[in-house]
Amino acid sequence: MPPDITALEPRRTLARGRLDALWARGTSFLGCEVGILGGAMTWVSERHLVAGISNAGGFGVIACGSMNPDRLAEEIAATQALTERPFGVNLITMHPELEALIRVCLELRVTHVVLAGGVPHGRSVSLVKDGGAKLICFAPALVIARRLVKAGADALVIEGSEAGGHIGPVSLTVLAQEILPHIQGIPVFVAGGLGRGEAVLAFLEMGAAGAQLGTRFAAAVESIAHPRFKEAFIRAAARDAVPSIQLDPRFPVIPVRGLANAGTERFLEHQRSTLGRFESGELSRQQAQLEIEHFWAGALRRAVVEGDVEYGSMMAGQSVGMVTAVQPVAEIIAELVDQATAAIMSRELAAG
């Protein structure tokens, strides 16, 4: 006989309570109901998606990217008009106007500032913390995690190579084993390849305070990404999200994970052509490096905003295989919570 739904409700309530207890440290730190952060995705993580995630009980994060201070101020104010709940702003440490961007966040009372793209300078850390905001940093290895804690980070994100966009060399499963047992003084959030609640639960039980997801939210109803961009995510399998390839170690290519397309093949051809021009003496080493680096300039916007899924940069994590429909953010978060709760219930029912 099928289980009595009514009889399962008390178990479901208890299971949800256990889930809430597991990510309580994260939700308390973020000021939200569910320990799910939105990954900061350039051109995607803007006011509509960020407010949607926060309004659904998670924690949205604006991707500042290359915005100037005035443009960031506009985006923060527009997000605040759409939600009264807390959200964060992700700033790139290499931005030439980083300090001005931090001041904009502080002036507009952003509660959490994420410094990404490298180990932040001590002055940046002081500006954030002295201004009263919480500081979140990315740690790609235990030694850097410890360094960031010592420098004053209030929380860390450990992101595995399964993630979309710019990636490090180590998978989340390895990073979690390396870092979670040793960093216990501050909340640590996991990221990279996460698409289901059972996986989030597993990392919570290892000691994570919550999880960051990007790819699933990129295809949400609230995402301003072009319909063709979202449709490409729905069609894709995990194996389609691949890192960029470097042909010659003399000319480094920053690893970026995205969906393979005609642009990916063209980039390989561009590298070969540029290398040939360097070998022939037509280009200096510096000129060749710039030629390679500039290939993808504007390509992410072409994909996300204009819908050029053939030649644009289709940044996506390996969890893209779990994107099966364009869903409202609230539905995605509820699905993740239900999956984690069901996993707890199943385990407890099996144990009697």
DSSP for 269-306 reads HHHHHHHHHHHTTSS-HHHHHHHHHGGGTTHHHHHHTT
Alpha-carbon distances of 205 from 23, 87, 262, 294, 344, rounded to whole Å: 9, 25, 41, 43, 11
The answer to whether the predicted template modeling score (pTM) of the entire model surpasses 0.85 is yes
DSSP class of residue 59 equals: B
* pLDDT one-digit tens code per residue, 119-155: 999 999 999 999 999 999 999 999 999 999 999 999 9
Nearest alpha-carbon partner for 90 in 130, 53, 50, 58:
50
Strands (E) located in 5-139: 36-38, 61-63, 88-92, 112-116, 134-138
What the chain holds in terms of domains, given with CATH numbers, is 5-226+324-350 (3.20.20.70), 237-315 (no CATH)
How large is the average pLDDT for residues 71-100?
97
Report yes or no: 316 and 223 within 8 Å, Cβ to Cβ. no
* pLDDT one-digit tens code per residue, 263-284: 999 999 999 999 999 999 999 9
Residue 4 scores a pLDDT above 60 = no
Per the DSSP assignment, residues forming a β-bridge with 166 are 256
Please report which confidence band the pLDDT of residue 21 belongs to, taking 50, 70 and 90 as the band edges: very high
Which one is predicted more confidently, 8 or 339? 339
Query: What whole-number distance in Å separates Cα of residue 29 and Cα of residue 180?
Result: 17
Residue 208 scores a pLDDT above 90 = yes
Residue 10 confidence (pLDDT): 87
HSE toward the beta carbon, residue 83, CA cutoff 13 A: 26
